[in-house]
Structure 1
Amino acid sequence: MDLNKILEIIKEENLLAIRFEQTDTNGIARSKLVLARHFKEKATKGLNFALCHLAFDVQLNVLALNTGYAEEIGFADAVMFPIFESFQILPWLKRTGRILIEPTWKGSEVEGHPRVVARRQLEKLRQLGISLYSAHEHEFYVVDKETKKPLNEDKNAHSAIRDTPYYNLLNKFMEYLPKVGVDVEHVENEYGPGQLEISYKPSFGISAADNAHTYKTSIKEIAILNGYMASFMSKPYPNKSGSSSHFNHSLWDINEKVPLLYDANDPLSLSETAQHWIAGILAHAPAIEVLMAPTANCLTRVTPHTFSPINATWGFDNRTCDIRVKINGPEGTYIEHRAGAAGCNPYLSLAATVAAGIDGIVNNLKLPPQVTGDACEEAEIPPKTANLPTNMEDALTALTNDETICDALGKDFIKCFTAVKMCEAKQAREAEARGDTDWAFNFYFEYL
């Protein structure tokens, strides 16, 4: 896909407008509609777009100070340029296309932008001769748009009859998502009332995070147009199942042909590269938790016996661990990083996982013993196993105290991200102090 090809499609399909779309720090899609007749100009000269979107919360209510991208630069515009290969026609919107964009500031890319952060980690990985093949596995809740009641009131995962009342909505998801590059494999209802999961095929490189961003935005838009509201808020109901975004991935050679995780001659069937990679993720698990589960609400999932990991553990096909390893031969072996919450920004969960894994490889970190039982039970885990933080203050402290992760992701990003999240944590504390038990739902559910 290049500019000329896109211009041909715009003409052939008689498109009215193309949505120039980016992620913000929180993973929310921010966009401007550009009329089709101006697409070429904006695609080549750039589109002005306020850079301070990186400094706002989910609802754009509160601007975090000292992010580097707001008051320090006079709330100036970035100049956004499109990623041509991301162009899609949105089949649920009339005569509308979409293209992802990245910001530049004074002629340079913005180092604190989540997509840039993710790209840079993948570039570092490729310098080691390794490419990443990955996909996010998102759960989400669907409610009636007006009443906010879930699609169903029971909890009974995978029961076939639960899908029947809203089969038309599922059909829309299955019809439309592949048309925007999300290659859906299967659809299932999950444990919570109105909770769903739709899994899709993995991709190499940054396209995996682009697919996750596209998937989340598409699900929300399709739901709205059909009388529903979909939310990737991680824990919308305190006493019901949380929603995760497990990051499934494998490592391949630079040409994306040779798998690198499996070793038939190793007692664990894992290559040295795989073992160092997993060890790196575990070594930095407390620090990257706030990137895998980046809201005050996400961190409430970190509770024993809820299938959300609570410590830096790994095991074979063990859903109680942070890292679940699936051995399926050379090409089918993969790693599931289970710390991810549905409310994560997929660019950042990818970047965090890669940054930690790279450190494991570069420094030959040793893989700790596996957990074969329940990782929530102290007797089952190795001595001195680190716990994952359960609140924003502790999570941000763990991040900022980890020099390796901070250096990898860059000071500009760390400054912006921590400022935004400290501001969010303050709002959560204030809501708790005034007894506002609905704050989290009202703050996150609609837009996240």
Structure 2
Amino acid sequence: MKDDAFSMGGGVGVLPGPAAGRPEARAEGLGGRLSLGELTRAVGEGAIDTVIVAMTDMQGRLIGKRLTGRFFLETRCGPQLFCDYFLATDMEMTQVPGYQAASWQKGYGDFALVPDMATLRALPWLPGTAIVLADVTTREGLPLVHSPRQMLRRQLARLDALGLVADMAAELEFYLFNESFEAARAKSYQGLKASSWYPEDGHIFQTSKDEPYIRAVRNLMERADIPVEGSKAEWSAGQQEINLQHAEALETCDRLVLYKNGCKEIAHGMGRAVSFMAKLDESAAGNSCHIHLSLRERASDRPVFADAGAPAGMSETFRHFLAGAIAHAPAATFFFAPNVNSYKRFSAGTFAPTRLAWSIDNRTTSFRVLGTGKGLRFECRVPGADANPYLAFAALIAAGLAGLEQRLALPPAYEGDAYLADDMPRIPGTLHQALGHLERSAVLRQAFGDEAFEHYLHCGRWELGAFERAVTDWERLRLFERC
């Protein structure tokens, strides 16, 4: 990695692989960003017939509407009404009681999806289809404060008030399976055929076998103007990582949610399946979403993290910001690890962190400082691949800003195996613990505002309660006969 770069380490006509002949496996459409004029021409020529208007729900999934291209243009690309229950449900789309923003008592009314036309692009893996991401507002046009994209926008506005811009990137890991989503579901997700049978970290031969899918993703993302650095196998059998190039924070999150959804759609078209679940099996490595962050001045583009005259080349701004990210990480962890399963990833000796310490290029700590000069940044290793990137980025920025405001002192860098650091604070080990830290956080309450803060507390409490009511296969196996 070059010190002056912020880096994380061909066209496709038909997706290769066993299902390439099926209509749903074809990628016949345009690709890349579209201006309104280009969309108008493409719709008129029949090259695009469908426009998806989408947002993410609290869980990070793309949801929205498919509109005919004609209708989207006739309505002048205007707001689309959408039921407000979509930001008041759990993973099962249950109408969760107790939310102040949406309920049966309030009649589950509408909010508005306002297309952000800067995000408009053609999806080359879906024939004749374009997509535009939307900001969520009330019917009166006010930002819906608990919508994930607006949560991030609020923190970016705080940075902007200081004249700062966040450049960010994230490394999303996933597992690739040689069977379809439908087949995996029919087997209750047990005994699935991973794309390899042995640990494959960095292996070129095994990744050559994975190339029909991985190459399709790399090239199709490039065509969709989601720039890719490269790909590699991760540690466990079937585990993959495709790294996207860094960008400003909002753009990076937009790319991540399109990429994650696209990975699933491309896999489905090829008769394969992928999973971003944080911990698929106790014997396998977890799927992470390591977040890289640096700051620069908006007016001059001057990086503010680097200071050649300071210890380790780290500016006072960097030290305060990183100190805040560490100090408030326990409260932010719910946004990094939003599911009960998320916490099973935090296991010693697995490259997932367990201790809240920072280091210079040491993968046993939660925060790792990388690069020099313009490339100086830190990597937050706490989030899992199941995190909603808008919420995870928002929480990380809010924590760092608190460090700046409070002028927090950065503790010494940790050296050695942080898994053995009994004197260092732990990452919350359960969803229950993380919610306890969040409940007590005046910093995140102030950063997000009372309404959004309470909305996500309720979300976490409901998720925890749903798990606590469930009877698992582990319990039946352990207790059915022997208790």
TM-score (norm 1): 0.92
Which residue of the other structure, out of 357, 381, 390, is the alignment partner of 1:338? 381
Paired residues in the alignment total 433
Kindly state the Cα deviation for residue 153 of structure 1 after the two structures are TM-superposed.
1.8
> Is the counterpart of residue 60 in structure 1 residue 104 in structure 2?
no
State how far apart, in whole Å, the 2-side matches of 1:240 and 1:43 are: 49
Kindly state the Cα deviation for residue 261 of structure 1 after the two structures are TM-superposed.
1.0
Question: Would you say the 8 A contact 1:281–1:356 is kept in 2?
Answer: yes
> Is the counterpart of residue 118 in structure 1 residue 145 in structure 2?
no
> Is the counterpart of residue 31 in structure 1 residue 31 in structure 2?
no
Which residue of the other structure, out of 278, 289, 308, is the alignment partner of 2:333? 289
The amino acid of 1:38's aligned partner reads F
Question: Would you say the 8 A contact 1:431–1:437 is kept in 2?
Answer: no
The amino acid of 1:200's aligned partner reads L
The amino acid of 2:193's aligned partner reads K
Partner of 1:162: 206
State how far apart, in whole Å, the 2-side matches of 1:2 and 1:178 are: 18
Give the 5 Å matches for 1:172-251: 172-251=216-295
Question: Would you say the 8 A contact 2:110–2:139 is kept in 1?
Answer: no
Deviations 1:172-216 (A, max 9, x none): 111101122211111111111111000011001311111111111
Kindly state the Cα deviation for residue 5 of structure 1 after the two structures are TM-superposed.
4.8
State how far apart, in whole Å, the 2-side matches of 1:433 and 1:33 are: 37
Give the 5 Å matches for 1:304-343: 304-328=348-372, 330-343=373-386
State how far apart, in whole Å, the 2-side matches of 1:373 and 1:437 are: 41
Kindly state the Cα deviation for residue 63 of structure 1 after the two structures are TM-superposed.
2.5
Partner of 1:136: 170
Question: Would you say the 8 A contact 2:85–2:95 is kept in 1?
Answer: no
TM-score (norm 2): 0.86
> Is the counterpart of residue 104 in structure 1 residue 137 in structure 2?
yes
Deviations 1:144-169 (A, max 9, x none): 21254211121131111111223211
SS at match of 1:106: coil
Question: Would you say the 8 A contact 1:142–1:196 is kept in 2?
Answer: yes
Partner of 1:389: 428
Q: CA RMSD in A?
A: 1.9
Give the 5 Å matches for 1:343-358: 343-358=386-401
Larger Rg: 1 or 2? 2
Partner of 2:463: 424
Question: Would you say the 8 A contact 1:64–1:419 is kept in 2?
Answer: no
Q: Which moved more, 1:263-272 or 1:239-248?
A: 263-272
State how far apart, in whole Å, the 2-side matches of 1:139 and 1:193 are: 12
State how far apart, in whole Å, the 1-side matches of 2:339 and 2:349 are: 21
> Is the counterpart of residue 80 in structure 1 residue 119 in structure 2?
no
Question: Would you say the 8 A contact 1:112–1:416 is kept in 2?
Answer: yes
The amino acid of 2:441's aligned partner reads D
Deviations 1:291-348 (A, max 9, x none): 11111111111222222122221000011111100132x2111110111100000001
Partner of 2:9: none
State how far apart, in whole Å, the 2-side matches of 1:317 and 1:247 are: 14
What stretches of structure 2 of length at least 5 have no aligned partner? 1-33, 185-191, 478-483
The amino acid of 2:151's aligned partner reads V
SS at match of 1:137: strand
Question: Would you say the 8 A contact 2:200–2:238 is kept in 1?
Answer: no
Question: Would you say the 8 A contact 1:66–1:72 is kept in 2?
Answer: no
Question: Would you say the 8 A contact 1:67–1:419 is kept in 2?
Answer: no
State how far apart, in whole Å, the 2-side matches of 1:160 and 1:91 are: 27
State how far apart, in whole Å, the 2-side matches of 1:83 and 1:134 are: 20
SS at match of 1:268: helix
The amino acid of 1:348's aligned partner reads L
Question: Would you say the 8 A contact 1:246–1:341 is kept in 2?
Answer: yes
* CA 1:137–1:255: 2 relative to 1, 3 Å: farther
Question: Would you say the 8 A contact 2:169–2:245 is kept in 1?
Answer: yes
Partner of 2:404: 361
Kindly state the Cα deviation for residue 6 of structure 1 after the two structures are TM-superposed.
3.5
State how far apart, in whole Å, the 2-side matches of 1:109 and 1:72 are: 22
State how far apart, in whole Å, the 1-side matches of 2:98 and 2:70 are: 38
The amino acid of 2:404's aligned partner reads I
State how far apart, in whole Å, the 2-side matches of 1:293 and 1:79 are: 28
Question: Would you say the 8 A contact 2:55–2:113 is kept in 1?
Answer: no
Partner of 1:71: 104
> Is the counterpart of residue 22 in structure 1 residue 65 in structure 2?
no
* CA 1:343–1:285: 2 relative to 1, 3 Å: same
SS at match of 1:376: helix
State how far apart, in whole Å, the 1-side matches of 2:117 and 2:244 are: 22
SS at match of 1:265: coil
State how far apart, in whole Å, the 2-side matches of 1:66 and 1:427 are: 16
* TM superposition outliers: structure 1 runs of 4+ over 6 Å: none
Question: Would you say the 8 A contact 1:308–1:320 is kept in 2?
Answer: yes
Question: Would you say the 8 A contact 2:43–2:70 is kept in 1?
Answer: no
* CA 1:327–1:174: 2 relative to 1, 3 Å: closer
* CA 1:12–1:337: 2 relative to 1, 3 Å: farther
Q: Which moved more, 1:167-176 or 1:43-52?
A: 43-52
Q: Percent identity?
A: 28
State how far apart, in whole Å, the 2-side matches of 1:126 and 1:281 are: 18
Q: Which moved more, 1:102-111 or 1:243-252?
A: 102-111
Partner of 1:446: none
Question: Would you say the 8 A contact 1:286–1:386 is kept in 2?
Answer: no
Partner of 2:313: 269
State how far apart, in whole Å, the 2-side matches of 1:219 and 1:191 are: 19
Deviations 1:414-437 (A, max 9, x none): 222222222221222223467468
State how far apart, in whole Å, the 2-side matches of 1:42 and 1:376 are: 56
Kindly state the Cα deviation for residue 64 of structure 1 after the two structures are TM-superposed.
4.6
* CA 1:396–1:256: 2 relative to 1, 3 Å: farther
